[in-house]
């Protein structure tokens, strides 16, 4: 079997493509896997490092903002688009694939469309809840469509041939999850809550600022936490300045690095994750069942990170805080769910800090990341593939969802909570198909 995979633009398209290639080789060691993409894109480096043959095709996207510079870029795009058809046809003659798979990015368009016109079996994989333009255009023409989440099915426009399969997850994520206790012991976490926060390899300014507020609150109130934070390449100096400005410092309760090289291990150790909402990040959070506070990047196509994040919030597995209004949790698209108003970091001791957003009425205040503020019915959990148990809310007497992992405890519990020993936990639903 000979397979040609087209993917490019971002790691969110390329890494799933590589995971699919690995799964195909594992299922059929004789399979011959080829990749199509731009040599100027990151796909060239990642694919050649993995050892797969690479075929260049030059394709770029249109710039929507009107400027002299963008007009020039759009003229180049039109030229590349005119040449992409002949290039794709030449590629088909050279590779002679039995199957062509598009994993997103502009390069998928001409390659998959050419294969479909030639009668070659074709498929696309959409990683996000809000599909990209290329995949939406290709969906009617391919033989089968793979979607990561149910929310993408109708948006792709071909529900009759769409299968919801989730996103590929690295095998080491599952392997390290089984070593949670040993990894926590190696980190010296003890019984402390482990918080893992990051904003990507380059860093995210707003994530660094919000995390700095949280770190200052943790240290001022001597919270029993171990906080592991990655600033990203462009956030190193910013975070150092925030440490001085807000009066906190790395030490026994805080570890700050530029980049996380051992993410599977730290995900295994974490109780709570604060991050952006890229599709692969969320897939790994779901795979290990970690609760999350998600701050979607507003600087992505079609605002797709927001839609990714909302799928987890609807399932009770995360709290979404939009960057444009970091003091409030997002409630767009929810049925009667009030926004939690954030308290100021460190203002009232046990109150939740701004970064974890919101206070609740009652004898004890808890962050809205807890299942107590975000009830999920048993039917909803079963429909989404989650495994839930039940316990009673000491304030209302109602049943609330609970799972075996990802406990979050913030603030000082009131008498009712102490009496019942109530714990509030969230577990992400399992999506049906992971690449193991």
Task: Write out pLDDT tens, residues 149-203.
Answer: 898 999 999 999 999 999 988 888 999 999 999 999 999 999 999 999 998 767 7
Which pLDDT value is given to residue 370? 33
Comparing 69-73, 111-115, 294-298, 305-309, the range with the smallest average pLDDT is 69-73
Mean pLDDT value of segment 219-239: 93
> Whose CA is closest to 122, among 101, 103, 104, 92?
101
**CA-to-CA separations, 375 to 259, 282, 290, 351, in angstroms, rounded:** 35, 20, 17, 21
Ranges of beta strands (E only) in 165-212 are 193-198
- For residue 174, which phi and psi values (nearest 5 degrees)? -70, -40
Helix (H, G, I), strand (E, B) or coil at 294: strand
Question: Regarding beta strands 2-6 and 99-102, do their DSSP bridges make them parallel or antiparallel, or are they unpaired?
Answer: parallel
**Residues 115-137: pLDDT tens digits?**
999 999 999 999 988 898 899 99
What's 49-112 look like in SS3? HHCCCEEECCCCCCCCCCCHHHHHHHHHHHHHHHHHHHHHHHHHHHHCCCEEEECCCCCHHHHH
DSSP code of residue 204: -
Q: Which two tokens stand for residue 367?
A: 């962050």
DSSP states along 105-138:
STTHHHHHHHHHHTT-EEEEEE-SSS--HHHHHH
CA 201/CA 230 separation, integer angstroms: 8
- The answer, yes or no, to whether residue 73 has pLDDT greater than 80, is no
CA 134/CA 142 separation, integer angstroms: 12
Mean pLDDT (the chain, rounded): 77
- The answer, yes or no, to whether residue 380 has pLDDT greater than 60, is no
CB 274 within 8 A of CB 242: no
pLDDT confidence bin for 366, thresholds 50/70/90: very low
Which pLDDT value is given to residue 326? 55
Which pLDDT value is given to residue 382? 34
Exposure string over 25-35, b if 16+ CB within 10 A, otherwise e: eeeeeeebbbb
């Amino acid at each position: 079997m000979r397979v040609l995979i087209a993917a490019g633009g971002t790691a969110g398209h390329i890494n799933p493509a590589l995971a699919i290639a690995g799964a195909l080789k594992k299922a059929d060691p004789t399979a011959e896997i080829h990749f199509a993409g731009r040599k100027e894109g990151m796909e060239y480096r990642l694919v050649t490092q993995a050892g797969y043959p690479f075929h260049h095709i030059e394709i770029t996207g249109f710039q929507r903002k009107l400027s002299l510079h963008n007009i020039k870029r759009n003229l180049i795009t039109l030229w590349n688009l005119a040449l992409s058809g002949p290039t794709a046809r030449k590629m088909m003659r050279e590779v002679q694939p039995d199957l062509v798979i598009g994993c997103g990015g502009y390069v998928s368009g001409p390659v998959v469309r050419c294969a479909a016109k030639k009668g070659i079996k074709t498929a696309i994989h959409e990683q996000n809840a809000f599909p990209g333009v290329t995949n939406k255009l290709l969906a009617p023409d391919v033989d089968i469509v793979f979607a990561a989440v149910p929310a993408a099915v109708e948006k792709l426009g071909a529900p009759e041939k769409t299968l919801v399969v989730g996103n590929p997850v690295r095998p080491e994520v599952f392997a390290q999850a089984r070593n949670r206790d040993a990894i926590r012991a190696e980190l010296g976490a003890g019984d402390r809550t482990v918080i893992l926060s990051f904003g990507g390899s380059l860093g995210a300014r707003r994530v660094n600022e919000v995390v700095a507020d949280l770190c200052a609150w943790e240290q001022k109130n001597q919270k029993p936490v171990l906080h592991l934070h990655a600033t990203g390449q462009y956030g190193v100096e910013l975070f150092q300045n925030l440490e001085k400005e807000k009066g906190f410092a790395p030490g026994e309760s805080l570890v700050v690095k530029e980049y996380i090289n051992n993410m599977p291990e730290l995900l295994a150790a974490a109780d709570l994750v604060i991050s952006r909402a890229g599709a692969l990040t969320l897939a790994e959070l779901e795979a290990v069942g970690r609760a999350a506070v998600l701050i979607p990047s507003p600087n992505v196509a079609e605002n797709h990170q927001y839609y990714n994040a909302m799928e987890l919030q609807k399932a009770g597995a995360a709290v979404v805080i939009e960057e444009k209004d970091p003091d409030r949790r997002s409630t767009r698209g929810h049925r009667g769910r009030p926004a939690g108003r954030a308290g100021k970091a460190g203002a009232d001791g046990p109150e939740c800090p701004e970064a974890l957003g919101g206070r609740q009425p009652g004898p004890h205040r808890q962050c809205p990341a807890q299942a107590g503020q975000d009830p999920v019915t048993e039917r909803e959990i079963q429909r989404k593939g989650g495994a839930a148990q039940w316990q009673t809310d000491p304030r209302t007497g109602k049943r609330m969802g609970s799972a075996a992992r990802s406990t979050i405890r913030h603030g000082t519990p009131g008498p009712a909570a102490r009496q019942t020993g109530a714990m509030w936990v969230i577990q992400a639903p399992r999506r049906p198909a992971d690449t193991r």
